[in-house]
Amino acid sequence: MSAIAITPAALSAGHGGAIAQPVQAELARIEQDALRLASPMAGEAGAAGFGHSLQQALHQVDGKEQQAIERMGAVERGESDDLVGAMLASQDASLSFSMLMQVRNKLVGAMDELIKLQL
C-alpha cells in the first residue's frame, strides 16, 4: 500500500479547490507551531512549564478545599440551605486531592526508578 502525499498544489487542483484555503492555513499554523516548539528555548520553557503546572494543580486543589470548607461552614451556620452543593464541593475537593496524591506517588516512583538506573 503506497502513501499518498497531499500537497497544497494537489488540493487546489480539481474538486479540492474549495477546501484548499482552510487546509493551507491550518498547515501553515501547524508548521509555525512546530518551529516554535523546536526552538532552543522550548526545552527551558518546558521544564519551567512542568513546575508551573504542578504549582497550578496545587493551588487548584487548595482552592477547591477552601471552597468546600466555606460552603460547609455556611450550611452549619445556617447562612445557606444548599447542603447538596456543599457536599458536592466536599466530594470534588476530596477527589482532587486523591488525584493529586496519585500523581505525586507516580512521580516519586518514577524518580526512584531513575535513581536505581546504573550508568
* pLDDT category of residue 10 using cuts at 50, 70 and 90: very low
Q: Does 1 score more than 50 pLDDT?
A: no
Q: What is the pLDDT of residues 60-96, one digit of tens each?
A: 999 999 999 999 999 999 999 999 999 999 999 999 9
Q: How many domains does the chain have?
A: 2
The single residue listed with the C-alpha cell 518551529 is: 35
CA–CA separation, 80 and 39 (whole Å) = 53
Domain encompassing residue 83:
49-116
What is the largest distance, in Å, between two alpha-carbon atoms of the chain?
72
- Whether residues 102 and 79 fall in one domain: yes
- Whether residues 12 and 70 fall in one domain: no
Please give the model's pTM, rounded to 2 decimal places.
Answer: 0.55
